[in-house]
Amino acid sequence: MDLQLQFLGGTGTVTGSKYLLKVAGKRLLIDCGLFQGWKLMRLRNWAPLPIEPAGIDAVILTHAHLDHSGYLPLLVREGFKGPVYCTSGTRDLCGILLPDSGHLLEEEAGYANHRHSSKHDPALPLYTEADAVHCLPQLHACAFGSEIELAPGLTLRFHPAGHIVGAAMVEIGIGGRRILFSGDLGRPADLVMKPPAHITQADWLLVESTYGNRQHEAEDPHARLGQIIRRTVAHAGVVLIPTFAVGRAQSLLYLIHQLQSSGEIPPVPVYLNSPMAVDATEIFVRHLGEHRLSPAQCEAMCRTAKIIHSAEESIWLNEQRGPMIILAASGMATGGRILHHLKTFAPDPRNAIVFTGFQAGGTRGAAIVGGTDSVRIFGEDVPIRASVESLQNFSAHADAGEILSWLQGFRSAPQQTFVIHGEPDASDALRRRIATELHWSVCVPDYLQRVELAP
């Protein structure tokens, strides 16, 4: 049986995850993500795929984050008409994330046209909110662990990956052989999510490497965040937290709730400038079996912050002064309302900017964490005088040691392991550890590389 794998994204970068599997006359696209970060990467979103969207038989999503699902509206608009298989949690979250992504793309294009800050006239969105809504009926929810027959001798099964609600490892069964896509692996002791499932066998494995070259800090993030908030509040400053609306926002709200309830931080106003994050929090209640929180804890999470719904309310928030805490999307400061807050609050040394996740190369978040003096926002150079903090222990990704521990659960080595979804140094560091510590056959594939998987 011919079996070919092509890497259309998620190689040399932590974004744009797309893996084309050709098997049994079928073309399956595992993940359908947006490229983010460096301009060279973002331009790939505008380039045609090396396969016609209409020629893809099915899409399979590991989870709902935009670097894994955000290209789907464009794929459908360009002619893909097949089913999109995912877990029910992923379907629910995509119903929030994808329309919001289209709305933000339209909003940013409109703002660029108003300010004449784009080289394109007019600036156009990659896709619209209507495009995103149009693709949603193609999502088919599947239960964890159930086997779905895609064709005779070709099956699909989802395994819990931790990370966020709905996140899954994707197992494709091919005539008794198995290829496993790890998706984004969660952490064994995450504050909110349960650990990833133990997998004992796969013939071919694609494993993520976001933190393939580092360990998460041993410092307690609870204590560190409390310290930052107390220090900033003492100077009447604003704690600005760029955050991913799904997963990270919920963990942070729960932790801020704990800090306020225990009296470790003063009862200052907390604002969540992402209505989408509220909807995502409600989805947590519908998927209680996937995370560690009780319904009461989910409710407490929802009550922690005042929700900023409209653009007018967001403008009002920029006119307020501290002390206060603002959480706003996006987590790598690539777009959304966080940009307006950065423009307002980053120049003031009384304030603090707190990053709580991985910052992909080329993003404003990576530049700020790296110590830049200014970042360009809406055509203007904005000085960074606020204190900058990076709390990696909040990451929902397994670190290098946790990935190795998960891999050690395999009873036998895969025939071939592909290290994906990482910056080049992270992927190569994990490759070396897998080769030297586990003695597996392992490689880091190149962008657009094709690999024949021999039986």
| 316-373 confidence digits (pLDDT tens) | 999 998 899 999 987 788 877 899 999 999 999 999 999 987 787 888 999 999 999 9
Same domain, 293 and 188: no
121 sits in the region (left: phi over 0; alpha: psi -120 to 50; else beta) called beta
Same domain, 68 and 170: yes
Same domain, 315 and 404: no
Same domain, 432 and 327: no
In tens, the pLDDT along 303-331 reads: 888 888 888 899 999 999 889 999 998 77
**More confidently predicted of 212 and 251:** 212
In tens, the pLDDT along 399-436 reads: 999 999 999 999 999 999 999 999 999 999 999 999 99
Provide the number of structural domains found in the chain: 2
CA 239 to chain centre: 22
Same domain, 294 and 407: no
- Compute the distance between CA of residue 441 and CA of residue 455 in angstroms, rounded to an integer: 15
Residue 330 has what pLDDT?
A: 79
Examine the fold and report which residue of 394, 426, 443 is the final residue of a domain before the chain moves on: 394
Same domain, 131 and 247: no
Q: What residues does 389 pair with on adjacent strands?
A: 354
Q: What band does 118 get if pLDDT is binned at 50, 70 and 90?
A: low
Q: Which domain holds residue 199?
A: 3-214+396-452
Same domain, 383 and 404: no
In tens, the pLDDT along 54-110 reads: 999 999 999 999 999 999 999 999 999 999 999 999 999 999 899 988 988 898 888
Q: Which of 9, 15, 39, 30 is nearest to 244 (CA)?
A: 15
Same domain, 289 and 354: yes
CA 83 to chain centre: 22
Residue type, 447: Y
Same domain, 378 and 415: no
Residue 378 has what pLDDT?
A: 86
Same domain, 435 and 386: no
- Compute the distance between CA of residue 168 and CA of residue 163 in angstroms, rounded to an integer: 9
Examine the fold and report which residue of 376, 394, 412 is the final residue of a domain before the chain moves on: 394
Same domain, 257 and 184: no
In tens, the pLDDT along 267-283 reads: 999 999 876 766 777 78
CATH number at residue 352: 3.40.50.10890
Rg for the chain (alpha carbons), in Å? 21
Residue 387, φ and ψ in degrees, nearest 5: -70, 145
- Residues for the chain: how many in total? 455
In tens, the pLDDT along 181-230 reads: 999 999 998 888 999 999 999 999 999 999 999 998 777 778 889 999 99
Examine the fold and report which residue of 361, 378, 394 is the final residue of a domain before the chain moves on: 394
Same domain, 279 and 207: no
Q: Respond yes or no on whether the N-terminal peptide bond of residue 330 is cis (omega within 30° of 0).
A: yes
CATH number at residue 194: 3.60.15.10
Q: Report the chain's mean pLDDT, rounded to a whole number.
A: 92
Under 8 Å between Cβ of 248 and 238:
no
| Helical segments of 38-192, H only | 39-42, 66-69, 72-77, 88-115, 129-135
CB within 8 Å of 288: residues ≥ 6 apart: 294, 295, 298
CA 10 to chain centre: 12
CA angle centred on 254, ends 253 and 260, rounded to 5°:
85
